[in-house]
């Protein structure tokens, strides 16, 4: 694992062996930087993608339920008043309000709010109040803010995932082409250090779920 490899390098006894070798110091610093970047950003590849979709559906349901209650009061008033046009306008069900795209639900609920607002003076006896309309408006605003989030979150997660993949590629280069070669000098002089490093290099961890399932090329063994 990359993390495990860096842990070996940073052990006090082993660090003393390479700290005076500028090239080794530079490569270890790059390795640590890439690992820190991946550790910080890996959770972002999933966090909002799922959360925003769930938030959107919960807000959509809450909005449609509130709008249905308002629509029921307006429909009762329209029936009593003989206002067939208004009755047809607000005649709906929860299934109808939830059907179609998210923007469709928002538009239907917004129209119910508009119809109720226009007739508010006559709706008190039917359970429709300004407070209820204010609540519906807040739900409309909240849901409108969530509408673009799922696609934005997916795009953001994709971008972070690509950056993590690039960091993992750089780690491969740092290890395979850099540190593995510099470690050869310690195979005979400090076999414990070489052994621990080699063991840590058996599998490179791919944080964030971007592993390719393949083991890296192990440090080269010099010809005897």
pLDDT the model gives residue 160: 80
Task: Give per-residue pLDDT as tens, 108-141.
Answer: 999 999 999 999 999 999 999 999 999 999 999 9
Task: Give per-residue pLDDT as tens, 90-99.
Answer: 999 999 999 9
Do 59 and 127 have their domain in common? yes
Question: For the chain, what is the mean pLDDT?
Answer: 85
In this prediction, residue 158 has a pLDDT band, given cuts at 50, 70 and 90, of confident
Structural domain including 100 reads 55-149
Do 28 and 62 have their domain in common? no
* Domain-located, residue 212: no
Q: Using an 8 Å Cβ cutoff, are 67 and 74 in contact?
A: no
* Domain-located, residue 223: no
pLDDT the model gives residue 214: 42
Do 64 and 121 have their domain in common? yes
User: Residue 212 pLDDT > 90, yes or no?
Assistant: no
In angstroms, how far is CA 139 from the centroid of its own chain? 24
Do 156 and 196 have their domain in common? yes
pLDDT the model gives residue 211: 40
> Which residues contact residue 92 at a Cβ distance below 8 angstroms, ignoring those fewer than 6 apart?
68, 71, 108, 112
- The number of domains in the chain is 2
Cα 208 to Cα 167: distance, rounded to the nearest angstrom? 12
* Domain-located, residue 220: no
User: Residue 27 pLDDT > 50, yes or no?
Assistant: yes
Do 122 and 182 have their domain in common? no
* Domain-located, residue 213: no
Average pLDDT over residues 140-168: 77
Cα 177 to Cα 172: distance, rounded to the nearest angstrom? 8
In this prediction, residue 54 has a pLDDT band, given cuts at 50, 70 and 90, of confident
DSSP 3-39: HHHHHHHTSHHHHHHHTT-HHHHHHHHHHHHHHHHHH
Do 104 and 164 have their domain in common? no
- pTM confidence score: 0.48
pLDDT the model gives residue 159: 79
Do 193 and 168 have their domain in common? yes
* Domain-located, residue 222: no
For the ranges 139-148, 155-164, 175-184, the one whose mean pLDDT is highest: 175-184
């Amino acid at each position: 694992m990359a993390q495990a490899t860096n842990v070996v390098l940073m052990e006090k006894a082993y660090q003393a062996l390479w700290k005076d070798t500028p090239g080794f110091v530079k490569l270890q610093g790059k390795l640590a930087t890439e690992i820190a970047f991946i550790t910080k950003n890996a959770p972002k590849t999933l966090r909002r993608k799922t959360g925003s979709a769930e938030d959107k559906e919960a807000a959509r349901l809450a909005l449609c339920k509130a709008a249905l209650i308002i629509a029921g009061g307006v429909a009762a008033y329209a029936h009593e008043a003989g206002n067939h046009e208004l009755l047809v306008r607000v005649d709906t069900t929860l299934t109808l309000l939830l059907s179609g795209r998210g923007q469709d639900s928002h538009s239907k609920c917004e129209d119910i709010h508009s119809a109720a607002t226009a007739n508010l003076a006559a709706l008190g006896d039917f359970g429709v109040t300004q407070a209820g309309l204010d609540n519906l408006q807040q739900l409309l605003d909240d849901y409108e803010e969530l509408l673009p989030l799922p696609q934005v979150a997916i795009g953001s997660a994709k971008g972070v995932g690509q950056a993590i993949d690039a960091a993992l590629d750089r780690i491969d280069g740092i290890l395979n082409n850099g540190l593995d070669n510099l470690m050869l000098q310690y195979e005979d002089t400090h076999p414990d250090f070489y052994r621990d490093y080699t063991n840590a290099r058996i599998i490179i961890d791919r944080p964030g779920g971007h592993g390719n399932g393949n083991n890296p090329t192990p440090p080269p063994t010099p010809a005897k």
